[in-house]
Amino acid sequence: MATYLTPALAWRRLREGNERFVAGKSLHPNQDASRRSSLVHDQHPFAVIFGCSDSRLAAEIIFDLGLGDAFVVRTAGQVIDDAVLGSLEYSISQLGVPLIVILGHDSCGAVSATKSAVETGDMPAGFIRDLVERITPSVLTSLRNEQSDVNDMVVEHVKQTSHRLADSSRVISDAIEEGRVAVVGLSYKLDEGRAALVSGIGQL
């Protein structure tokens, strides 16, 4: 049962799937009628992937996964809110998922908008402003570290998001301390299709 994978084995399975995708050798596993039928009454995903909503960042495709393999949560700029935290806690406490993935990507529009807002002082209207406000600490940290490239800011935002999860959720932090869960931060390159490790929390 996939749920019984260790965090390290779950991470290995994701890496292998991404390597197949990069090489153009995807297997498209667990996508047939029998798999669909087996999941009617239960699910045992081995990873929860919290990523950006960008249309080029389809988690099941880039990690060569199928039905029931990943519990996926997405917001623009992988911005954390209470609904995201609740969804991630559900995956850990109810589904027993051993691995949390934070998935950012280069040329992220939400991070670019935040960079622009910080540099010009012009905040966007509506609820986009809320996204920008939540990404601003990552952009400011990058600028303090003399990293002004958007893709460097994406990496910083992935790192900060990973740590915020552990700091904000007792459910997640306890699971990490007990060795049941690990968090990996990944930055996805749109041209290569490769998801590179940029941070890790827990036993991998």
> What does the DSSP 8-state code read for residue 52?
E
Residue 169 has pLDDT above 90, yes or no: yes
Mean pLDDT over each residue of the chain, to the nearest integer: 94
pLDDT digits (tens, 9 = 90+) for 171-196: 999 999 999 999 999 999 999 999 99
Angle between the N-to-C axes of helices 82-93 and 170-177, in degrees from 0 to 180, rounded to the nearest 10: 40
- The CATH number for 87's domain is 3.40.1050.10
Q: Is residue 166 scored above 70 in pLDDT?
A: yes
- What pLDDT, on the 0 to 100 scale, is given for residue 2? 44
Cα–Cα distance list, 123 to 153, 166, 187, 188 (Å): 18, 29, 26, 27
Q: What is the pLDDT of residue 3?
A: 55
Contacts of 134 (CB under 8 A, 6+ apart): 77, 79, 80, 81
Report the pLDDT value the prediction gives residue 1, as an integer from 0 to 100.
42
State the pLDDT at residue 7: 96
Number of domains composing the chain: 1
How does residue 204 score in pLDDT terms, banded at 50, 70 and 90? confident
Length of the chain: 204
- Does residue 4 have a pLDDT over 80? no
Q: What is the mean pLDDT of residues 123-151?
A: 94
What does the pLDDT average to over 85-103? 96
Find the domain containing 74 and state its range. 2-201
| Mean pLDDT value of segment 79-101 | 96
Q: What is the pLDDT of residues 50-83, one digit of tens each?
A: 999 999 999 999 999 999 999 999 999 999 999 9
Supply the Cα-derived Rg of the chain in whole angstroms. Answer: 17
Percent of the chain whose predicted confidence (pLDDT) is above 70: 99
Buried b (16+ CB within 10 A) or exposed e, 17-48: bbebbbeeebeeebeeeeeeeeeeeeebbbbb
17-30 pLDDT, tens digit each = 999 999 999 999 99
DSSP string, 94-150: TT---EEEEEEETT-HHHHHHHHHHHH--PPSTTHHHHHHHHHHHHHHHHHTT--SH
Residues in CB range of 68: below 8 A, 6 or more apart = 2, 30, 35, 38, 39, 43, 44, 45
Distance (Å, whole) CA 57 – CA 73:
12
Token pair of 94 as six digits: 């109810």
Task: Look up the pTM and report it.
Answer: 0.94
* pLDDT recorded at residue 203: 86
